[in-house]
Amino acid sequence: MALGNVFIKDVDGNLPGNSYAGNEKVTGLLFDVSLQPDLFTTGYGKNNEGKVALNDVIYITNRKQSIKDYGIIERITVNEENEKNENFLHGIPAYHIREFFRTSGNIDGNGKLYIMFADCSENWDAVEIMQRASGGTVNQMGIWTEQPLWKINGAAEKYNLNLVKGLNDKAVALAEQNQPLSIVLYANPSNTGARSEEGNKIDLNKIPSCICEASRVSVIFGQAQNEIVSLMQKRNVNHTPPGFLGAVMGSIAKANVHESIAWVKQFNLFNDDFQSIELGFGDINLDVSDEFISLNQYESLSPVLLDDLDDKGYIFPIKYSGRENGIYISKDQTCSSADFRTIARNRTINKSRRQVREALLPYVNSPLMVNPATGFLAASKITAFKTLIGDILNKMKTDQEISGYAVNIDPSQNVLVNDTLKIGYVIVPVGVAVKIYVEEGLSLTDK
């Protein structure tokens, strides 16, 4: 017989489309270094192995700690011959850590960030290792990997989506262990897995949809267009775009669980080093000047193409015309079209399930009074459990994290027979103004 516990699972209610201090800010950054086999055996990584090594899970609360205690230094200017000796993975991890703290509130402020470097070429067990190391508290995890996001599928066919389903399966398994989290995937979008001239070219029209009912995973691409990011990409032998994962994860950590990270008023990524946007891929073969042939600058992308990428489920940095000094996140969508189609909805349900479970755990193996006339659960117990869960959900409603809720306990449960108490609750999520339509015109009067 299985040990007693509280078991909670998500149920998709098929909502129509178009329509206490917690740990919800605890974040993880997983760097898959499977395509950097000598990262910790030569150069800076070898010299720094006393501070951080492959498969270590480290916990930091500020950016300076990552530098001082773990040697994850920010990029310095060196010639190409000294790159590996002076820079740790070309400065990419430090860049994302800096961006995380910057967009979460203050570049030199405090936060809760777990970091791991692992070889994820065979599996994504590192996700589970990180979550367990955190005590199950990581609520959102960003994954940076040089494994290809897409793989070629015949010369005339759309690319095949890579990695997403495997990561979603891992997240589902963790949720079943009462350690739910949202995963944001930044995989290499600049080639289709082949180290060849053709493999380094991405046809934007062949990009597949990433919507595959993987509601616990979101896919991002795009990056700041500046000299530092360009040099990090160029110095990397794989020419992988650094991306903007740190900025996205910082925005998620800053957001309340019900808030979309695409909220224009609240989440502006613009700063001195993030004033322009590029996809970071297109044709990463080098021209005669040793420059990438095309990284698809944002201004070169048509609105139709951007809408298409959005419809396919991807998240990327955007600008709004007429709004100066603004870099924003396109959406907060997941790889799903169902109830849990946004990161905010996942974070909201995850917060409720964590807190409800915490409240119910003390009652595992507790006595349950029954009505002696029927043998069914006593009305007083039904009221007590409804109040217990209702207090949690009502607090979320008061904080405007949910619009409403309902708790249901079947009064005809025969707990004397099966020693099992079944409780159900639903929450009504907060809506999001993704599109705002306005009609305007001229008139002879104001009537």
**DSSP result, 155-202:** TTSPPEE-SHHHHHHHHHHHHHTT---EEEEEEE-S-SS--STTTTB-
Are both 219 and 279 inside the same structural domain? yes
Residues 110, 62 contacting (CB under 8 angstroms):
yes
Question: Does residue 215 belong to any structural domain of this protein?
Answer: yes
Residues 425, 356 contacting (CB under 8 angstroms):
yes
343 pLDDT above the threshold of 60? yes
| Percent with pLDDT over 90 in the chain | 85
| Count of the separate structural domains present in the chain | 2
Q: How confident is the model at residue 193 (pLDDT cuts 50, 70, 90)?
A: confident
Are both 323 and 373 inside the same structural domain? no
Residues 210, 313 contacting (CB under 8 angstroms):
yes
Containing 127, the helix (H) or strand (E) segment is: helix 125-133
Domain boundary among 346, 378, 394: 346
Distance set, CA 290 to CA 87, 235, 316 (Å) = 21, 11, 27
447 pLDDT above the threshold of 90? no
Are both 197 and 272 inside the same structural domain? yes
pLDDT of residue 206: 96
Q: Is the full-model pTM beyond 0.85?
A: yes
Give tens-digit pLDDT for 220-233. Answer: 999 999 999 999 99
Arithmetic mean of pLDDT, 417-422: 92
d(CA 153, CA 157): 6
**Which is more confidently placed, 246 or 1?**
246
Distance set, CA 102 to CA 95, 291, 373 (Å) = 10, 30, 63
**Which is more confidently placed, 412 or 16?**
412
d(CA 80, CA 43): 13
Question: Does residue 301 belong to any structural domain of this protein?
Answer: yes
Are both 389 and 277 inside the same structural domain? no
d(CA 182, CA 202): 28
Are both 313 and 447 inside the same structural domain? no
Residue 354 is encoded by which pair of tokens? Answer: 């964590």
- Is the C-alpha dihedral spanning 19, 22, 27, 28 positive or negative? negative
Question: Does residue 58 belong to any structural domain of this protein?
Answer: yes
Arithmetic mean of pLDDT, 76-87: 95
* Cβ count near 129 (within 10 Å): 15
124 pLDDT above the threshold of 80? yes
Question: Does residue 429 belong to any structural domain of this protein?
Answer: yes
Containing 346, the helix (H) or strand (E) segment is: helix 343-360
Are both 55 and 112 inside the same structural domain? yes
Residues 367, 384 contacting (CB under 8 angstroms):
no
d(CA 167, CA 129): 14
d(CA 158, CA 153): 6
280 pLDDT above the threshold of 90? yes
Residues 55, 118 contacting (CB under 8 angstroms):
yes
Question: Does residue 361 belong to any structural domain of this protein?
Answer: no
Are both 142 and 228 inside the same structural domain? yes
Query: Residue 35: which domain range?
Result: 27-346
